[in-house]
Amino acid sequence: MKKPTAVVIEMVDIIPIEIGDIVKLKKQHPCGTNEWEVGKLGMDIGLKCRGCGRKVRLLRSQFDRRFRGYIKRGFED
């Protein structure tokens, strides 16, 4: 019988974001830009590349790990 293995879960703070925020992530998109617009919130985060318009979704935990800062907040119009 196999021994149970320990699972290590790294806790990352939840980043407060809103629809319309422009954020910077850890790596830039292949098109060369590093600006993403938040379009969907929930269990996953919908992002749109500000350079080429490509839409992607990241799990909330992946987004929180890759987040590097705000470029513009959605309420700063």
Q: What is the pLDDT of residues 51-66, one digit of tens each?
A: 999 999 999 989 999 9
Q: What is the pTM of this model?
A: 0.79
Task: Give the per-residue pLDDT at 52.
Answer: 95
Report if residue 13 sits inside a domain.
Answer: no
Domain contains 56: yes
What's the pLDDT score for residue 8?
64
DSSP the chain: -PPPPP------PPP---TT-EEEESS--TTS---EEEEE-SSEEEEEETTT--EEEEEHHHHHHHEEEEEE-TT--
What percentage of residues in the chain have a pLDDT greater than 70?
Answer: 84
Q: Domain for residue 38, yes or no?
A: yes
User: Model confidence at 13, in pLDDT bands (50, 70, 90)?
Assistant: confident
Is 3 domain-assigned?
no
Domain assignment present for 5: no
